[in-house]
Amino acid sequence: MIRTQQLLFQYNSETQFQFSDLQCKAGEATLITGASGTGKTTLLHLLGGLLKPTSGAIFINDVNICTLSAKKLDHFRGQNIGLILQKAYFIASLTVLENIELASWLTDNTKKREKAIELLSLLGLEQSASKLPSQLSVGQQQRVSIARALINQPKLLLADEPTSSLDDENAKIVAELLATLSQKYNAALIIVTHDQRLKERFKTTIEL
């Protein structure tokens, strides 16, 4: 599903990251760990097409995203990559349901309301559809982020520190949801984290 080759990213002459090749198949999960400054978030941003590598290749379903123009990459990302970032970046004035629908509308100009409601139900949030994001707990907001990332049924799901701000109970819930839903939708799942609790759930780990 996703694989990299000789990936190098250079911020400047003094700071560069050379990443080992990785591969993650559809329905599988990989945990990427490492101390601060080892390039975890940089790698996730490269895999999501938010940064362009200095050299190397990133293949998602045999498409080398490093060769795509900015416009084509934006379109490809919307259709194939779901991103769960540390900060949710919800539209504060929109309801939970509307925030999820917006992600589908931005991709193909359609609002997948039934799909959004289905995801909220799977995540135990069907009663929160009409609430504003600010009315939810941190754990609930993270689950909404998962629903938003899955609305377009991406082939790749990328999560950046999805449990770092959660207590043990909510961290366990979110980890289980990520694993279960990535398998349900047959998406490759890559989690970047320093949260040692996730190692109990995800056995395939790459340490930077």
Domain boundaries, the chain: 2-207
Report the share of the chain in percent with pLDDT over 90: 70
Report the share of the chain in percent with pLDDT over 70: 100
CA-CA distance, 71 to 10, in Å (whole number)?
Answer: 23
Per-residue pLDDT tens over the stretch 15-38: 899 999 999 999 999 999 988 889
CA-CA distance, 75 to 135, in Å (whole number)?
Answer: 32
The domain defined by 2-207 folds into Rossmann fold (3.40.50)
**DSSP letters spanning 105-120:** HHHHS---HHHHHHHH
Assess contact for 202 and 175: CB atoms under 8 A.
yes
Quick one: tokens of 57? Answer: 């290749």
Per-residue pLDDT tens over the stretch 94-120: 999 999 999 988 888 788 899 999 999
